[in-house]
């Protein structure tokens, strides 16, 4: 028994399957996607008694082997394909002690595939509270299996489960019941035609639209001859099969399970009346969101400032310590800055997923989804889309990752594509400095014009997201089943271990997934800003020194002027001049053009880029404002940053896809560059048109 065994964790949603997975694997787990599809794949290693190692794969939640979604197809395809490297030596069906009847439907189906199967009954700590008692010996005999009574909350029964997994060869593989009795003639003919194949496996092949790879391809093609029955007849047989299974389950539980309803205490109904109320439900949800995002901004600001200053100090230390040269500059200004651009997102991502995980673990998120579905569905979205859209006000990156919970691929794709319209915190530095320059001070009804402008930008962003979702719903010709089914799990205290592992995995996914792309583009942008062709760049010091010879500049001022000259004649500066004819109708000059190009790395780079161009230290915000306010439009005369150009710039940043890290995440979540490229082109084009119209009307 020295070889590694494969263990599949299978179960209905909300049975605590993830908690069991975490209890078995701890930190020895990894998360990825199944090849070619966006369904999440979780796997880990568990050390079992007597030196046995188990490869645990946490399969997507499914109610039965009658697939109705991409997630459920994954489960069936694995269980039918013995050639798959993840094909289980033993299956552990995780059930919830309060919903045993429903959970056992899936268990009886898996038993028919003659896979050694263990029934793990979770949340056993709630049995006394709910007045439930089980005759384990009787249930094991009737279900022809071994049962592990576990509680991941109390950490009980896990060792017993590990022992059962180790001794999986002792498990019976006999089915619990004869499902073929629903139509003996049909199934007897099927058995005679394929005497060497499992009958229930053949039945699943006939009724399910799944991909079987290279497994028994000839057999599966031959089974097509048995699809002589109409879809309606096959559906009727499936229903008869389900009824027969539930008849068996009811008879088994009648003797094996006792529920004393009088002793059961349940506040769930009372809480649901409040939390899903058609008025108070929305008020409570809005209040919770307000608290969450206030906490995200307050809590993340300290670690983000620390990360920012740490990387700046590290960059400065590298410059001071290593000998001058291209390698030192690449390390200090390209690689370290690029890494800083990745790491600085971690606090927001971690805190956002901390709160999302708590809401999911507690059972409240299901109520939110139910509440919002009626509103969102009118625009081609799901109730579950509300989480990414609101999360996008902090950062679009974790918000797009949060769209994984949406089952329908069409609704999930639309959510991913429109989420970047919501105003993220990276836009705030751009908004604040432009608003301060072009919106006059003054108040209406006690609210300042500047505050109202900022609020309006947030509303415009959310309106654009919802409006574009409606258009995409009409335009996208993607066939995707969209049945809104959401289970209302019991309320419970979140498990600290589950929350911590969720935050860790989501953060790791960002750092190692999008991080590689962000770092690569950061290095490219550094190169473009640090080098340029011709004498104007290479002889910048002499040129600038001659120009300012009579100005008596300090050493720092001279250095800033030289850097500004270099930037103007660098590759990225040349790009700014090249795009100036295109952006001039929007009221911008080449300097704003450079800032727009640079801020593709991250929107907040806009202010820093302009600070460098205007030859002032980036930490003197008032000086930046004064210098920007003094800029003259070379074509029209007057201030460059006036009301028309300011509003144009605000609208451009409200709608443009100016964030490479978001594009990287969209690519990762959709497994193709098609959607992020379309997103970049369409959003940027729309932003350009809106900004153009705004400037031409207001100038």
Cα(115)–Cα(654) distance, integer angstroms: 55
Of the candidates 652, 633, 631, the residue with the CA atom closest to the CA atom of residue 694: 652
> Does 630 count as an annotated binding residue?
no
> Does 60 count as an annotated binding residue?
yes
> Does 155 count as an annotated binding residue?
no
Structure-token pair, residue 399 = 């918000």
Q: Are strands 29-33 and 90-96 parallel, antiparallel or unpaired?
A: unpaired
> Does 40 count as an annotated binding residue?
yes
Give me the residues paired with residue 95 across strands. 121
The H-assigned helical ranges of 215-279 are: 217-223, 231-256, 268-275
> Does 325 count as an annotated binding residue?
no
> Does 18 count as an annotated binding residue?
yes
> Does 25 count as an annotated binding residue?
yes
> Does 23 count as an annotated binding residue?
yes
Cα(341)–Cα(515) distance, integer angstroms: 9
Asked whether the CA dihedral 683, 343, 430, 531 is positive or negative, the reply is: negative
> Does 125 count as an annotated binding residue?
yes
Query: In this structure, what is the dihedral angle of CA atoms 340, 344, 346, 351, given to the nearest 10 degrees?
Result: 170
Those residues whose C-beta lies under 8 Å from the C-beta of residue 597, and which sit 6 or more positions away, are 572, 575, 576, 579
Cα(509)–Cα(353) distance, integer angstroms: 12
> Does 32 count as an annotated binding residue?
no
Structure-token pair, residue 565 = 């000259």
Half-sphere exposure of 68 toward its Cβ, with a 13 Å CA cutoff? 11
Q: How many CB atoms lie within 10 A of CB 247?
A: 11
> Does 16 count as an annotated binding residue?
yes
Cα(83)–Cα(70) distance, integer angstroms: 21
Of the candidates 509, 510, 667, the residue with the CA atom closest to the CA atom of residue 31: 509
> Does 116 count as an annotated binding residue?
no
Structure-token pair, residue 149 = 């009574």
SS3 call for 447: strand
> Does 152 count as an annotated binding residue?
no
Q: What is the DSSP string of 356-388?
A: HHHHHHHTHHHHHHHHHHHHHGGGT--GGGHHH
> Does 594 count as an annotated binding residue?
no
Cα(122)–Cα(133) distance, integer angstroms: 13
Half-sphere exposure of 554 toward its Cβ, with a 13 Å CA cutoff? 4
Q: What is the DSSP string of 26-55?
A: TT-EEEEE-TTS--EEEEEEEE-GGG-EEE
The size of the chain, in residues, is 699
> Does 365 count as an annotated binding residue?
no
Give me the residues paired with residue 8 across strands. 57, 91
> Does 58 count as an annotated binding residue?
yes
> Does 37 count as an annotated binding residue?
yes
Half-sphere exposure of 509 toward its Cβ, with a 13 Å CA cutoff? 27
Give me the residues paired with residue 92 across strands. 9, 118
CA 640 to chain CA centroid, Å, is 40
Cα(33)–Cα(218) distance, integer angstroms: 29
Cα(202)–Cα(227) distance, integer angstroms: 11
> Does 38 count as an annotated binding residue?
yes
> Does 340 count as an annotated binding residue?
no
> Does 581 count as an annotated binding residue?
no
Report phi then psi at 270, rounded to 5.
-65, -40
> Does 62 count as an annotated binding residue?
no
Q: How many CB atoms lie within 10 A of CB 65?
A: 24
Annotated binding site for GTP: 11-18, 36-40, 58-61, 122-125
Annotated binding site: 11-18, 22-23, 25-26, 36-40, 58-61, 122-125
Annotated binding site for Mg(2+): 22-23, 25-26
């Amino acid at each position: 028994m020295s070889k590694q065994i494969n263990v599949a964790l299978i179960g209905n949603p909300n049975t605590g399957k993830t908690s069991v997975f975490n209890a078995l694997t701890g930190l020895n787990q990894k998360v990825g996607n199944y090849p070619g599809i966006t369904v999440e794949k979780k796997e880990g290693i568990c050390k079992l008694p007597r030196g046995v190692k188990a490869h645990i794969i946490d399969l997507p939640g499914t109610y039965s082997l009658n697939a109705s979604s991409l997630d459920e197809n994954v489960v069936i395809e694995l269980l039918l394909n013995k050639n798959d490297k993840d094909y289980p030596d033993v299956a552990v069906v995780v059930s919830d002690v309060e919903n045993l009847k429903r959970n056992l439907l899936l268990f009886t189906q898996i038993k028919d595939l003659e896979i050694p199967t263990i029934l793990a009954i979770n949340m056993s700590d709630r049995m006394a509270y709910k007045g439930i008692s089980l005759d384990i010996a009787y249930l094991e005999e009737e279900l022809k299996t071994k049962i592990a009574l576990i509680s991941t909350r109390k950490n009980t029964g896990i060792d017993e489960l590990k022992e059962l997994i180790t001794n999986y060869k002792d498990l019976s593989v006999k089915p619990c019941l004869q499902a073929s009795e629903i139509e003996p003639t049909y199934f007897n003919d099927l058995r005679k035609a394929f005497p060497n194949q499992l009958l229930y496996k053949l039945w699943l092949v006939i009724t399910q639209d799944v991909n079987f790879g290279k497994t028994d391809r000839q057999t599966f093609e031959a089974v097509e001859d048995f699809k002589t029955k109409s879809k309606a007849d096959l559906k009727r047989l499936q229903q008869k099969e389900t009824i027969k299974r539930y008849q068996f389950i009811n008879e088994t539980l009648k003797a094996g399970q006792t529920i004393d309803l009088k002793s059961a205490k349940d506040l769930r109904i009372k809480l649901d009346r409040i939390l899903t109320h058609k008025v108070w439900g929305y008020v409570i949800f809005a209040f919770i969101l307000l608290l969450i995002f206030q906490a995200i901004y307050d809590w993340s600001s300290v670690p983000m400032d620390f990360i920012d200053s740490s990387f700046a100090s590290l960059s400065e230390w590298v410059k001071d310590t290593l000998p001058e040269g291209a390698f030192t500059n690449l390390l200090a200004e390209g690689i370290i800055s690029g890494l800083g651009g990745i790491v600085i997102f971690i606090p927001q991502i971690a805190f956002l997923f901390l709160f999302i995980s708590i809401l999911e673990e507690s059972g409240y998120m299901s109520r939110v989804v139910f509440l919002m579905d009626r509103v969102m569905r009118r625009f081609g979205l799901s109730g579950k889309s509300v989480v990414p859209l609101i999360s996008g006000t902090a950062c679009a990156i974790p918000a797009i990752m949060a769209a994984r919970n949406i089952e329908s691929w069409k609704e999930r794709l639309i959510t991913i594509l429109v989420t970047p319209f919501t105003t993220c915190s990276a836009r705030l530095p751009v908004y604040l400095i432009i608003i301060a320059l072009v919106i006059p001070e003054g108040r209406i009804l006690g609210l300042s014009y500047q505050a109202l402008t900022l609020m309006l930008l947030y509303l415009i962003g959310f309106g654009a997201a919802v409006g574009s979702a409606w258009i995409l719903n009409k335009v996208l010709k993607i066939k995707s089943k969209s049945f809104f089914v959401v289970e209302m799990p019991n309320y419970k205290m979140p498990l600290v271990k589950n929350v911590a592992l969720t935050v860790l995995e989501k953060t790791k996914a960002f750092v190692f997934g999008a991080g590689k792309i962000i770092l690569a583009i950061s290095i490219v942008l550094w190169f473009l800003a640090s080098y340029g062709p011709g004498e104007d760049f290479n002889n910048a010091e002499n040129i600038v020194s001659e120009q300012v010879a009579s100005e008596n500049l300090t050493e720092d001022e001279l250095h800033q002027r030289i850097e500004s000259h270099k930037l103007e004649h660098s590759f990225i500066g040349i790009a700014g001049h090249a795009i100036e004819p295109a952006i001039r109708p929007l009221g911008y000059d080449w300097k704003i053009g450079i800032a727009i190009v640079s801020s593709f790395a991250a929107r907040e780079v806009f202010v820093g880029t302009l600070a460098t161009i205007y030859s002032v230290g980036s930490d003197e915000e008032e000086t930046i404002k004064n210098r920007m306010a003094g800029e003259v439009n070379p074509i029209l005369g007057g201030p460059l940053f006036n009301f028309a150009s300011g509003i144009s710039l605000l609208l451009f940043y409200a709608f443009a896809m100016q964030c490479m890290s978001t594009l990287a995440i969209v690519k990762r979540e959709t497994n193709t560059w098609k959607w992020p490229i379309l997103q970049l082109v369409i959003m940027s084009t729309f932003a350009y048109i809106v900004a153009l119209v705004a400037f031409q009307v207001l100038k």
